[in-house]
Amino acid sequence: MASGLSTRNAAVLLSGVVLAWGTNWPVTKLIVHDVPPLWATAIRCMIAAATLAPMLWAQGTFIVPKRGDLPVVFCTSILHLVAFSALVAAGLQYVPAGRAIVLGYTTPIWVAIGAAMLLSEPITRHRALGIVFGLAGLAVIFNPQTLDWSDRQALFGSGLILLAAFCWAGNIVYVRAHRWISTPFQLVFWQVLLAAALLSLIAWLAEGPPHIAWTARLAALMLYSGIVCTAFANWAMTMVNRSLPAVTTSLCLLATPLLGIVSAAAILNEPLEPSLFLAMALIIGGIALGTVAGGSLREKTT
């Protein structure tokens, strides 16, 4: 793999990642209308694994994980690709994609708290202020004026998305502590392959054999989610991380949830609620404050 890209090419790839991750939320909501959430996530991982294997092989970077990297393979597969992805897919059955995006992107706030508790990373004044901003954004989302607390499905769906954010945060905290032998991209194939196997087993037990009415539209959505949003995005982020400063990348990725809200409005005709933008502004502001003041609070995967 090339050691780096020009700034222009890296910026193009980063824009592609933002587009892929931003649009994946409404695309996933469309998919779970026709496919049970566990099977939807399992099939997405199957497609991603089938795409990543030849990519790695062609670049000469296909490996078998070393023993020292097995813990991070299992952790990322279980907490991020299985738990986070499945919980998000399930939650999207009950809540609008825009609300789910805002809740999902509270992850960096929990990372900052978890890293302070488990990794002894200091919570600086700027990070503490960022956490307060993020929690204020969460309060806007759960305000009784913006969320009907009598709607049990909305509360359940929101809870699933928030639990997904906790799982993703737990994975990020572990990844920070892991001593890497192979590169993260070399391990992504094994992570999605393991996730596909685990999700297929869990889906079979929980949802039964898949009975999916395949259409050209559904196949296109699944291919987009698996190839573009998972395989391409992970490869592209690896290339971008070699070519752009970490803070630059982190700040640019903050456009992802905003694009997600706008794309949900465009694709799903969801209303652009002012409360969502207020919550997102508070959460993004908090993440940006922590990123600029003391390093990135997010993981470069989704």
What does the pLDDT read at residue 293? 60
Give the C-alpha separation, 112 to 296, whole Å: 10
Cα dihedral 73, 84, 168, 97, rounded to 10, equals: 140
Q: What is the per-residue pLDDT across 221-251, written as a single tens digit (0 to 9) for each?
A: 999 999 999 999 988 988 887 788 777 787 8
User: How do the pLDDT tens digits run along the chain, 302 residues long?
Assistant: 444 678 888 899 999 999 999 999 999 999 999 999 999 999 999 999 999 999 999 989 899 999 999 999 999 999 999 999 999 999 999 999 999 999 998 998 898 899 889 988 888 888 899 899 999 999 998 988 888 888 999 999 999 999 999 999 999 999 888 988 998 888 999 999 999 999 999 999 999 999 999 999 999 999 999 999 999 998 898 888 778 877 778 788 889 999 999 999 999 999 888 888 899 999 998 888 877 665 544 444 44
What does the pLDDT read at residue 6? 82
What does the pLDDT read at residue 301? 42
Of 161, 148, 102, the closest CA to residue 283 belongs to 102
Question: What HEC string does the chain produce?
Answer: CCCCCCHHHHHHHHHHHHHHHHHHHHHHHHHCCCCCHHHHHHHHHHHHHHHHHHHHHHHCCCCCCCHHHHHHHHHHHHHHHHHHHHHHHHHCCCCCHHHHHHHHCCHHHHHHHHHHHHCCCCCCHHHHHHHHHHHHHHHHHCCCCCCCCCCHHHHHHHHHHHHHHHHHHHHHHHHHHCCCCCCHHHHHHHHHHHHHHHHHHHHHHHHCCCCCCCCHHHHHHHHHHHHHHHHHHHHHHHHHHCCCCHHHHHHHHCHHHHHHHHHHHHHHCCCCCHHHHHHHHHHHHHHHHHHHHHCCCCCCCC
Angle, vertex CA 79, rays to CA 114 and CA 168, nearest 5:
45
Q: What is the per-residue pLDDT across 50-73, written as a single tens digit (0 to 9) for each?
A: 999 999 999 898 999 999 999 999
pTM attached to this predicted model: 0.88
What does the pLDDT read at residue 4? 60
